[in-house]
Structure 1
Amino acid sequence: MLALAACGGEQPSKTAPPTLPATTSVADAPAAAATASAVAADPASEKKLCEAAKKIGDESKAALVQAVTSGGDATAVMKKAYTDMAKGMADTAATAGPGSAVAPVLIAFGTEVGKAAEDVAAADSPALEKAGKDVNAACKKAGVAINF
């Protein structure tokens, strides 16, 4: 923009305020709005993220129920289920598009689930409960009923 003004050969009036900053601000405003719109998450993508998270959760819950009812080593199965769930949440979040509201909550939930994989007592932590509620809320907005 400055290069074009310099080539114009006209001197700005000493009494008129410079117009370059105003022009730049006005010109940048639509571009900023377009960028913000482009960064907004695609609702269909958000729904797919939540559907994937729900599937991961359902599979982990089924593995836990099977371990408990079969009389196997529930602690080992819980650790594996939590490990798989944490990895699944991270992998799912990695597929999110720009501006996703779901991806950050999946990452936070996966992080807390990963802690439970290391120490099963962490499965009852307030942080995991909050992260689960955050996923539930974000996915509800995306049209997917999920219960973590």
Structure 2
Amino acid sequence: MNRFGLTCTVVVSAALLALAGCGEEDSTAASAPSASASDTSTAPSAAAPSSSTGATGGASDKELCQNAKSAGDEMKGAFLTAMQSGKEPEPAVFQEIMKGLEQKMVAAATAGGDSKVAGLMRDFAAEAGKVAVAADPGTAAANPTFEKVGEDLSAACKAAGVKATF
């Protein structure tokens, strides 16, 4: 159990630091070309990638990212509460937090139809779901796939004008 606590503390600390870094780059966030979410739209509009919607319509990428950021902030708060309780949290606490994150991301992504951001949110939710059912959530959260999907979602949200780190 002590190894679990150390692993969770390291992973949670890394997650909190990543979430705390939401405002690293300011001025060029809305014009970053690397992760335009309008890749699947049929109209060739270069005017507003930050407010584009998927081919099936729905919420804009900016709205999706704001909802994803909110879910991430809630996760951060829950982790902080668990870590500040004065005793080592049980694995079930971290599993519950990650399950909540998964559910919120899936619900928010549904409003985005088939946009790139909605797809990344679903991918991120799937990885959070894997952590939620893992016997050792600390180790499960420290996998390269989860980190990559989080980086991709962060970049897409940055392009949509929302500063968030996942």
Indicate conservation of the 8 Å contact 1:45/1:97, yes or no: no
1:111 partner SS:
helix
1:12-31 superposed matches below 5 A: none
Q: Distance in 2 between matches of 1:76 and 1:69?
A: 16
1:10-89 superposed matches below 5 A: 36-37=42-43, 41-42=52-53, 45-72=60-87, 73-89=89-105
Task: Determine which structure has more spread, i.e. the larger CA radius of gyration.
Answer: 1
User: What is the match of residue 92 of structure 1?
Assistant: 108
1:104 to 116, 119, 122: 119
Q: Distance in 2 between matches of 1:143 and 1:74?
A: 37
The answer as to 2:165 corresponding to 1:147 is yes
RMSD (Å), alpha carbons: 2.3
Deviation at 1:97? 3.9
TM-score, normalising length from structure 2?
Answer: 0.62
TM-score, normalising length from structure 1?
Answer: 0.69
Deviation at 1:74? 4.5
Structure 2 residues not aligned, in runs of 5+: 1-40
Indicate conservation of the 8 Å contact 1:67/1:77, yes or no: yes
Indicate conservation of the 8 Å contact 2:106/2:121, yes or no: yes
User: What is the match of residue 15 of structure 2?
Assistant: none
User: What is the match of residue 29 of structure 1?
Assistant: none
Compare the two structures and name the one with the higher helix fraction: 1
The answer as to 2:132 corresponding to 1:117 is yes
1:50 partner SS:
helix
Indicate conservation of the 8 Å contact 2:157/2:163, yes or no: yes
User: What is the match of residue 136 of structure 1?
Assistant: 154
Indicate conservation of the 8 Å contact 2:154/2:165, yes or no: yes
- The letter for the 2-side match of 1:81 is I
- Structure 1's 147 and 92: CA in aligned 2 closer, same or farther, altered over 3 A? same
Aligned residues: 113
CA-to-aligned-CA distance 1:94-144 (integer Å, 9 cap, x gap): 01145x120010011110011011110210000100010011011001000
Indicate conservation of the 8 Å contact 2:131/2:141, yes or no: yes
Deviation at 1:78? 1.1
